[in-house]
Amino acid sequence: MNEIRLIEVKEDILADNDAAADGLREKLKQKNTFMINLMASPGAGKTSLLLRTIDALKNDLKLAVIEADIDSMVDAEKIAATGIKSVQLRTGGFCHLDVSMVKKGLEAVDTEALDLIFIENVGNLVCPAEFDTGATKDIMILSVPEGDDKPLKYPLMFSKCHVLLVNKIDYLSLSDFNMELLEERVKKLNPDIEIFKVSCKTGEGIDAWAGWLKNAVIKK
């Protein structure tokens, strides 16, 4: 029997993407532009969180949003209605963004005129965690209805993010979600992660999150 050669294609793809992401990150730094990669499951509240954050920061920072979806432009339309520049990336089946896709989105905005760019990644807790987008910071949302066990199921996502936003805290009294247990599980994976508890419905916690983000952008 002939010898079968094994080629690890995924490792090559990730290595190439990581190198390109480092290059993009450096270019954005030179332009003094801060970019956030926002990740979460479908329905966790990515767009709602962006709308709240835009409202809190639009008078202080120049903003733009790159939206990613397998199909549809509904989220980009919601962002555009706020008056903020919105770009839609239609991935056509891809369950994540990589740096080449993000670069296409950046071509549609004037990065030098912006302080902060949000990427709303495809709704997924698996693939987006594996691909570096070139963002300055990786942020994730976990909503209360999803449960406090998600760090056990998706450790990479929680390990790589700089900030965790626990959304829909207005549901806490209606669920068995254990916030202390969640924080313990998350900190075990990622001791340096920042955790904010928010409700996009009531606005609770949004000021603290927006304040942290504004500070991070100013210090860039």
Q: Which domains does the chain have, with CATH numbers?
A: 9-219 (3.40.50.300)
Q: List the structure tokens of 5.
A: 């050669």
* CA neighbor of 136 nearest in space, from 11, 61, 24, 10: 24
Dump pLDDT digits (tens) for 146-162: 999 999 999 999 999 99
pLDDT of residue 219: 81
User: What global pTM score does this model have?
Assistant: 0.90
Rounded Cα distance between 65 and 76, Å, is 8
Could you tell me the CA-to-CA distances from 71 to 75, 90, 187 in Å, in that order? 11, 6, 35
Dump pLDDT digits (tens) for 5-53: 544 444 555 678 889 999 999 999 999 999 999 999 999 999 999 999 9
